[in-house]
C-alpha cells in the first residue's frame, strides 16, 4: 500500500513538471528563455518530436521559426502516418527502447480507430492489463502485510528502545519469521514500482512527441487544448474534464488508504492524499485534453481493478475459513456423541444395579 501511494505521488509530481515545464529542458524557448506556448491550444511546445505536425498548422510554423533548437528540422521528420522505429536517429536508449515503440503503437491504433484520443485511452488500458498480474501480486502482498501488522507492531514495540547489535539482529530475525509466516516479500512492492514508473514516464513522453495526437478531437474537445485555454474561450465542457480528473484521482487514491491501521501511517497517508488532490487539481488546468482523457480512463480502470481484486482476495480468504469451521463443528459433534455414549453406559450400569 505504501508503495502504491508513493507511485501515485511520484506520477502526480511528474505530471506537474511535464505540463508546467518546470525542471525540464524538453520545450522550445523564446529569446527571453520563456517556454513557448501554442496560442491556439495553450499547450507548451515540445522540443524534439518524432514526426511532422500538419503543414498548415500554427505548430508547424513554430517549429520552423525555432529550427536552431531542434536536433532534426521539422521538414526532415517523417509524416506521422509514415513513422517507424528506424525513422531518423534516436536520442538515447530510453527513446529507442520505450518511447518510440509506445509512440508507434499509439499511432497505429490511432489510424485504426480513426481517432488518437481513443487510441491513447486504449493503449493506456492495454498497459494496465499487461501489468494486471503484477498488480494482483502487489495487492496480495498488501493484504498479507495488513494481517501481519499486529505482530510487526509488537516486534517494533519490543525493540523500541534497543539499539545494540544483538537486539537489532534478533529483531530482524523475528521480522523475517513474520514475513515468512505471511508470505511477504518486501522487494515485490519495489519491483512493481520499477515496472510502472518508467512505463508511465515513457508513455507520457511518447504522447508529447507525436503532434498528430493533439490535432484531433474527441467528444467535441480539441485533444491538444488545455482546460485553462478552453475555459478562456468559453468552452465550459472543460469543467467536466477537470471534475473527472480530480474525482478519479480521489477515488483511486482513497481506495489505497482503506487498509491503513497504524495511526502514524494514516497521518502520513492523509497528508499525501491532500497533497495529491491539490496538486492534480492545479495540474489539471494545464493538461492537454489527450493526456486528461488518458488519466481519467486509467484511474477509473484502477478503481474498478482494485475493487475486483479485493473481491477475489476476500473470496480466497472465505474459501479457507469454512474448512476450519467444519473441523471445529465436527470435533464438537464427536465430543457430544462421546459424552452421550458415556451417559448411556452409566444409565445402563445403574439399571443393572437396581435390578440386582
39-49 average pLDDT score: 87
Enter the pTM of the model.
0.74
Task: Report the range of poorest mean pLDDT among 88-97, 224-233, 284-293.
Answer: 88-97
User: Model confidence over 47-58: pLDDT tens digits?
Assistant: 889 999 988 888
Can you give the pLDDT at residue 339? Answer: 59
Alpha helices by DSSP H, 209-285? 227-232, 237-255, 263-283
Can you give the pLDDT at residue 136? Answer: 81
**Distance, CA of 219 to CA of 217 (rounded, Å):** 7
**Distance, CA of 55 to CA of 199 (rounded, Å):** 31
Are 144 and 184 in contact by the 8 Å Cβ rule? The answer is: yes
**Distance, CA of 334 to CA of 318 (rounded, Å):** 25
**Distance, CA of 111 to CA of 117 (rounded, Å):** 11
Which triple of cell numbers denotes residue 221? 474537445
Can you give the pLDDT at residue 164? Answer: 84
DSSP classification of residue 52? B
Residue 165 reports pLDDT greater than 90 = no
Are 119 and 110 in contact by the 8 Å Cβ rule? The answer is: yes
Are 147 and 261 in contact by the 8 Å Cβ rule? The answer is: no
**Distance, CA of 321 to CA of 315 (rounded, Å):** 10
Instruction: Give residue limits of the domains in the chain.
Output: 2-320
Are 206 and 212 in contact by the 8 Å Cβ rule? The answer is: no
Can you give the pLDDT at residue 23? Answer: 44
Can you give the pLDDT at residue 337? Answer: 53
7-11 average pLDDT score: 53
CA distances from 292 to 80, 113, 122, 124, 204 (A): 22, 19, 13, 12, 11
User: Model confidence over 187-229: pLDDT tens digits?
Assistant: 666 666 677 778 888 888 899 899 999 988 898 899 999 999 9
Which triple of cell numbers denotes residue 267? 497521518
Residue with cell 484511474: 299
The phi, psi pair for 342, rounded to 5°, reads -60, -45
Number of helices (H), then strands (E), in the chain: 12, 4
Residue 324 reports pLDDT greater than 50 = no
Can you give the pLDDT at residue 260? Answer: 47
Residue with cell 451417559: 343
User: Model confidence over 100-138: pLDDT tens digits?
Assistant: 999 999 999 999 999 999 999 999 999 988 888 887 887
- The most confident of the ranges 4-8, 49-53, 177-181 is 49-53
Task: Report the range of poorest mean pLDDT among 40-44, 99-103, 137-141.
Answer: 137-141
Can you give the pLDDT at residue 95? Answer: 85
Q: If you average pLDDT over every residue of the chain, what do you get?
A: 79
**Distance, CA of 240 to CA of 228 (rounded, Å):** 12
pLDDT: which is higher, 197 or 343? 197
Task: Report the range of poorest mean pLDDT among 55-64, 296-305, 330-339.
Answer: 330-339
Task: Report the range of poorest mean pLDDT among 52-61, 195-204, 290-299, 320-329.
Answer: 320-329
Can you give the pLDDT at residue 2? Answer: 46
pLDDT band at 22 (very low <50, low <70, confident <90, very high): very low
Q: Which residues contact 55 (CB under 8 A, 6 or more apart)?
A: none
**Distance, CA of 316 to CA of 336 (rounded, Å):** 32
Task: Label residues 315-342 b or e (16+ Cβ within 10 Å = b).
Answer: eeeeeeeeeeeeeeeeeeeeeeeeeeee
Residue 338 reports pLDDT greater than 70 = no
The three-point CA angle 310-314-316 to 5° equals 115
User: Model confidence over 244-257: pLDDT tens digits?
Assistant: 999 998 888 776 66
Are 269 and 5 in contact by the 8 Å Cβ rule? The answer is: yes
Long-range pairs of 234-240 with CB within 8 A, sequence gap ≥ 24: 238/289
Amino acid at each position: 500500500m505504501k508503495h502504491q501511494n508513493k507511485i501515485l505521488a511520484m506520477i502526480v509530481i511528474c505530471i506537474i513538471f511535464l505540463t508546467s515545464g518546470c525542471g525540464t529542458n524538453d520545450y522550445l524557448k523564446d529569446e527571453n528563455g520563456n517556454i513557448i506556448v501554442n496560442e491556439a491550444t495553450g499547450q507548451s511546445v515540445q522540443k524534439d518530436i518524432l514526426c511532422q505536425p500538419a503543414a498548415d498548422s500554427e505548430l508547424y510554423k513554430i517549429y520552423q521559426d525555432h529550427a536552431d533548437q531542434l536536433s532534426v528540422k521539422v521538414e526532415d521528420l517523417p509524416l506521422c502516418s509514415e513513422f517507424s522505429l528506424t525513422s531518423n536517429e534516436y536520442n538515447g536508449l530510453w527513446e529507442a527502447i520505450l518511447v518510440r515503440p509506445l509512440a508507434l503503437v499509439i499511432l497505429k491504433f490511432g489510424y485504426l480507430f480513426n481517432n488518437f484520443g481513443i487510441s491513447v485511452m486504449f493503449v493506456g488500458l492495454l498497459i494496465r492489463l499487461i501489468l494486471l498480474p503484477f498488480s494482483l501480486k502487489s495487492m496480495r502482498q498488501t493484504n498479507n502485510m495488513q494481517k501481519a501488522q499486529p505482530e510487526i507492531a509488537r516486534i517494533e514495540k519490543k525493540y523500541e528502545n534497543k539499539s545494540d547489535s544483538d537486539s537489532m539482529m534478533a529483531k530482524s530475525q523475528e521480522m523475517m519469521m513474520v514475513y515468512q509466516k505471511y508470505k511477504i516479500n518486501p522487494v515485490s512492492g519495489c519491483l512493481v514500482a520499477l515496472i510502472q514508473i518508467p512505463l508511465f514516464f515513457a508513455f507520457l513522453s511518447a504522447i508529447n512527441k507525436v503532434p498528430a495526437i493533439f490535432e484531433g478531437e474527441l467528444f467535441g474537445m480539441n485533444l491538444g487544448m488545455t482546460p485553462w485555454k478552453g475555459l478562456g474561450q468559453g468552452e465550459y465542457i472543460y469543467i467536466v474534464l477537470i471534475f473527472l480528473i480530480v474525482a478519479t484521482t480521489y477515488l483511486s487514491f482513497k481506495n489505497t488508504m482503506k487498509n491503513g491501521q497504524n495511526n502514524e501511517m494514516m497521518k502520513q497517508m492523509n497528508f499525501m492524499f491532500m497533497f495529491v488532490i491539490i496538486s492534480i487539481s492545479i495540474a489539471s488546468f494545464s493538461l492537454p485534453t489527450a493526456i486528461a482523457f488518458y488519466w481519467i480512463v486509467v484511474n477509473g480502470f484502477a478503481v474498478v481493478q482494485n475493487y475486483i481484486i479485493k473481491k477475489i482476495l476476500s473470496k480466497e480468504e472465505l474459501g479457507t475459513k469454512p474448512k476450519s469451521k467444519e473441523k471445529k463443528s465436527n470435533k464438537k459433534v464427536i465430543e457430544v456423541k462421546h459424552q452421550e455414549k458415556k451417559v448411556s453406559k452409566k444409565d445402563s450400569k445403574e439399571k443393572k444395579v437396581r435390578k440386582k
